[in-house]
Amino acid sequence: ERNGLPTQNSGAVLVESLKNRYLAYLEPRVTREHRNHARHHLETILNHTRAVTVRDLTPEKVDAFLRSLETGVTPPSPRTLKAYLQSAKGMLNWAVEMRVLPFNPLATLKPRSQEEKRKKRRPLSEDELARLFDAGRWGPLIREGLQRSGRPIPKDAEEKLALVQDIRRQLE
C-alpha cells in the first residue's frame, strides 16, 4: 500500500480470492442463510461473466447477466435480481473499504425497476359484500351450532349450504 492506495494492479486481483475473503469477513457478521445466498449470487455471477480477475467483472457483463435472468423461461422477481447485484456490489465495496481495490467497478450499475406485475384489484360487488358480512355475523354461530349438534362439517357444497340454512333457522 502506498499513499493509502493498493500497490497491486487492481485489475489483476483474482475475484475467486476476493469472494472467499469477503465471505470469510461476512461469517461472524451475518446469518448462515445470508452468507449462503451471497455465496450463491456471487458464484453465479462469476460463472456467468467468466470473470477471473476484477478487470473481467465489468458493468456490461453483469448487466448482460441480469438481463439474461430477466428474459429466461421463469424470470426471477425484481427483488431477486436486485439481490444478485447487491451481493456483487457489496463484495466490491468491501474490497474498496479494505483497500484491496481503489474503486468499485460496478458502482455505476443501478438496480432494475422494482415494478412487479400485480394483479389489479377490483372492489367487491354489493352481493359479495353482503355475503362477507353475513359470514362474519353467522359464521361463529354456525360453528357453535355444529359443535353442539355433534354433526360433522359436510364436504359437499350443497350439503354444507343445507346444513348452514338449517342451523340459521334454528338460531333465529
Mean pLDDT by 10 residues, the chain (172 residues): 61 92 96 96 96 95 94 88 96 94 93 67 87 74 67 66 73 67
128 three-class SS: helix
What whole-number distance in Å separates Cα of residue 40 and Cα of residue 45?
Answer: 9
What whole-number distance in Å separates Cα of residue 147 and Cα of residue 139?
Answer: 12
Which pLDDT does position 19 carry in this prediction?
97
Which pLDDT does position 172 carry in this prediction?
67
DSSP annotation of 104 = -
72 CB-side CA count, 13 A = 12
Around Cβ 27, how many Cβ atoms within 10 Å? 10
